[in-house]
Amino acid sequence: MDALSMGLVAAMGALATVAGASEDIESDIGSQSNPNSQVQLAAQVGNPHRIYNKAISGEPPANALWATTAAVVAYTLITKFAMPALFAIAIGASVAALFNGVFSTSAYFGRSASQRRFNQWIYLDIVRYTTTSIMAHAWITAFCITCIAYIQTAILTPHHPFPMPVIALIWGLTVGAIGSSVGDIHYGGEREFQWRLFGQGLNTMLSGQIVRKAEAGLRNSIDNAWFCTKLGGPLTGLGFGLTVFLDNWRTTVFDPVTQAGLAIGMGLFFVIIMNLYNFYVETSIRKKYGPYPGYKGDIAA
């Protein structure tokens, strides 16, 4: 272990945290992924809305596409045109953001147009100012992930044997999986449905009854991003940051050639700690919140 490697691992962790947060907010502004099922349903149950609707695909393949596109462009510029890495990655991320813009716009038009029979309108003002916000967040995600891939393949020792685009593909899939598992709950479980009892998930009877009014005027996707930035985004960043940092920390602090056992043992230690921490969270919230008042079964709380 040397100071440079440790600094690089810390930088990767920081980049991953930013990438995770921007990935989740990108999906919240665009209303991609799982909670979008409710946005889709809303118009069908008589609630046309002004929420952006771009379920291009699941978040992992979508983000894998943005990150890989950025990495392929950056890799080409670095290797064939000897461009400085930072500029090359920035250009790569810009190309990825353009791809994202094309997909987002066509997804919004396609999905909204297909719901014409439910009186769902296409709002051109929404397209104009929301699409650029989505693209900006996709740019940040693609930039950070490509930076991580570059650090892993070109600077951090031992260099990773996979080429930069493959690493970007895998981290893109991973950040999408984490964003879809963590941040989406804040959007779907909390933001979309705010006029129901607090402290429980969505009752099936309320499916499609999403909140359509904002603090002022009608709610749009930028309002949702404002809310989800408070917790869903940062926690997604924390999840992805933990994954990248802890996984690389153990192989940087312990030499994988001579101390492979220690590197693996340290990883197992992290896993056990996280299992125990989840048990602590479960126990503490059971005590704090207690059982649901309406429960009429035989099993004691």
The DSSP symbol for 204 reads G
Shortest distance (Å) from residue 258 CB to other proteins: 9
Query: What does the alpha-carbon distance between residue 187 and residue 8 come to, in Å, rounded to a whole number?
Result: 33
Shortest distance (Å) from residue 181 CB to other proteins: 5
E strand or H helix that includes residue 87: helix 85-114
Shortest distance (Å) from residue 249 CB to other proteins: 10
Please check whether residue 156 is in contact with residue 9, taking contact to mean a CB–CB distance below 8 angstroms. Answer: yes
Shortest distance (Å) from residue 133 CB to other proteins: 21
Query: What does the alpha-carbon distance between residue 301 and residue 296 come to, in Å, rounded to a whole number?
Result: 11
Nearer to other proteins by Cβ, of 41 and 127: the residue is: 41
Nearer to other proteins by Cβ, of 20 and 92: the residue is: 20
- Classify residue 190 by burial, with Cβ atoms within 10 Å: 0-12, 13-18, 19+: middle
DSSP 3-state assignment of 271?
A: helix
Shortest distance (Å) from residue 287 CB to other proteins: 9
Nearer to other proteins by Cβ, of 195 and 198: the residue is: 198
Nearer to other proteins by Cβ, of 79 and 119: the residue is: 79
Query: What does the alpha-carbon distance between residue 8 and residue 5 come to, in Å, rounded to a whole number?
Result: 5
Spell out where the chain has E strands: none
Structure tokens at 37: 């099922």
The DSSP symbol for 122 reads P
Shortest distance (Å) from residue 222 CB to other proteins: 20
Bridge partners (DSSP) listed for residue 218: 213
170: Cα within 13 Å, side-chain hemisphere? 11
Shortest distance (Å) from residue 119 CB to other proteins: 24
Contacts of 31 (CB under 8 A, 6+ apart): 39, 51, 52, 53, 54, 55, 187, 221, 224
Nearer to other proteins by Cβ, of 91 and 170: the residue is: 170
Of the candidates 141, 109, 105, 174, which has an alpha carbon nearest to the alpha carbon of residue 26?
Answer: 141
Nearer to other proteins by Cβ, of 217 and 261: the residue is: 261
